[in-house]
Structure 1
C-alpha cells in the first residue's frame, strides 16, 4: 500500500480492489460527513460513481470539487469526461476548452473535445480540433482515426483517405480504420477498392457483421 494513502481509507481501497464498490462508497461517505469539503475524498468517491455508471452522482460530486478548486485542470478534465459520458456534450465542451486554454492539455483532451463536437453535429469544429492536435502532436494516431471519421461524416472523402491509410501503414490489423476506409471508397463509388477493404476486414475478423453486410452488398448490387 502506498505510504501516502490516508490510513483511514485503506479498507475502502481494499474494497475497490476486490470489486466491492458500494462498501467503499459507504466508507468515503462516512468520512465526508466529517469533512464535507475534503477534495481527495470527493474525487475518490466521484471515481467510484463513474465506475458504477452513477453519472448524476458522479457529476454532482465533481461539480462540488470544482466549486472548491475552480482552477484545477484535473477536475475540469474529469468533469468534462463525465459530462460526455452522460451525453451532456455542451458543458463537456466548456470543460475541455478551459483545459486547453491553459496551454497544458494532454492529447486526450483534444480527442474528447472533438468527440463532443462530433456528437453535437458540429463536424467542422470537430475537424478543426483534431487538425490542431495533429499540428501539435503529429504522432497521435488516434487523432488521425477520429479526423478520418469526422471528414467522412462531413462528406470530405478525399481528405479522409490519407488519415485511414496512415493508420493502416502503422497497423495493418486496425479493423475499424480498414472498415471506414472501405466505406470511404464506397462513397467515392470505387467499389472494387471498397470490396478489397471489407474482404481484408473479414480476413482479420470473420464475424464482423458490418463488413460482411457491405461485402455482400457490393457482390449483390455492384458485381462486375
Structure 2
C-alpha cells in the first residue's frame, strides 16, 4: 500500500500566480515574507504543502501546527497534520489525529477516505476501512480515490467484478493518479491480461517515476507476457 494521498493541487495564489508552480525556493521565500507581514493560517498551510512536496516532513509539521494555532477549525490543516505524522512513521499519533479529525468534522469526506487508507496500509482492519470508504462516497460520490481504495479491497477479497466497477467509476471521475493505474494493473494481472497490466504500470511510472515498487511490478508484468528476452527492452519503451 502507498502512503498518504496528499493532494498537492492546493488552490492558492501568491501575487496572482499559483504558488505550486515554479521554484520551491522562490515560493518559500514569498510565503515567508507574506507570513512576516500578515500571519495567516492559509499561508502556513501553503508553506506546509510546499514542504510536503519536497518530503521535508519536520518543516511541514511545524508549518501545519502554526496554521492550526491560528485557525483551530481548519479541517484541511487537521487532515494534513495526521498525514504528516503518518509519513513520519509516528503511527499511533497519526491514528489519533485521523480519529480526532473525523470526530471534529463528521462531514469531511476526505478524512474518512484517508483514515481508511491508513487502516489498509498499517492494520488488518479491512472491514472498518471499507465502512469508512462507503461513508466517504456517501458524502462525495465523485471521490475517485475512494473508489480506487474500495476496488483494492474488492481485489483482496477476490471480487474482481466489483473491483472493475469501482475502477470504471474512478476512471469516470479521475484519471491521472498512479494509484489508479497501479490498482488497474493488479486487476488485469489477476485476470491474466498482462499486456494491459503493463500499459497501466507504465502510465503509473510516468506519474511517479521514482517509485521502485512500480518498476518491479512493471518488470513482473512484462515477464508474465511470456515475451522473449530479446524483445523485453523494446517493450519497456513502446507499451
Select the residue among 17, 22, 27 that pairs with 1:19: 22
Name the larger-Rg structure: 1
Cross-structure match for 1:147: 150
Select the residue among 186, 189, 192 that pairs with 1:180: 186
- Taking structure 2 as the reference length, what is the TM-score of the superposition? 0.61
Cross-structure match for 2:194: 198
Cross-structure match for 2:93: 91
Q: Partners in 2 of 1:58 and 1:132 — Cα distance?
A: 29
Cross-structure match for 2:231: none
Q: Contact 1:89–1:116 (CA<8 Å) still a contact in 2?
A: no
Task: Quickly say closer, same or farther: Cα 1:134–1:44, change in 2 above 3 A.
Answer: closer
Q: Contact 1:127–1:150 (CA<8 Å) still a contact in 2?
A: yes
1:166 aligns with 2:162: no
Write out aligned runs for 1:117-128 (5 A).
117-124=119-126, 125-128=128-131
SS at match of 1:112: helix
Select the residue among 76, 84, 89 that pairs with 1:74: 76
Q: Contact 1:15–1:23 (CA<8 Å) still a contact in 2?
A: no
Q: Partners in 1 of 2:30 and 2:129 — Cα distance?
A: 41
Q: Partners in 2 of 1:148 and 1:168 — Cα distance?
A: 6
Cross-structure match for 1:131: 134
Q: Partners in 2 of 1:209 and 1:27 — Cα distance?
A: 43
Provide, for residues 18-77 of structure 1, a one-character-per-residue CA deviation record: whole Å limited to 9, x for no partner. 623323323433454566x54343233223222332221111111122133222212212
Cross-structure match for 1:58: 60
Q: Partners in 1 of 2:118 and 2:201 — Cα distance?
A: 32
Q: Partners in 2 of 1:137 and 1:31 — Cα distance?
A: 34
Cross-structure match for 2:7: none
Q: Partners in 2 of 1:122 and 1:206 — Cα distance?
A: 26
More helix by share: 1
Task: Quickly say closer, same or farther: Cα 1:97–1:214, change in 2 above 3 A.
Answer: farther
Q: Partners in 2 of 1:214 and 1:123 — Cα distance?
A: 32
SS at match of 1:143: helix
Provide, for residues 162-197 of structure 1, a one-character-per-residue CA deviation record: whole Å limited to 9, x for no partner. 3322045555997534432245x4xxxxxxxx32x2
Aligned-pair RMSD on alpha carbons?
3.8
Q: Contact 2:154–2:160 (CA<8 Å) still a contact in 1?
A: no
Higher relative contact order, structure no. (Cα contacts within 8 Å, ≥ 6 residues apart) = 2
Unpaired runs of 5+ in structure 2? 1-11, 203-217, 228-239
Q: Partners in 1 of 2:226 and 2:153 — Cα distance?
A: 26
Displacement of 1:145 in angstroms is 2.3
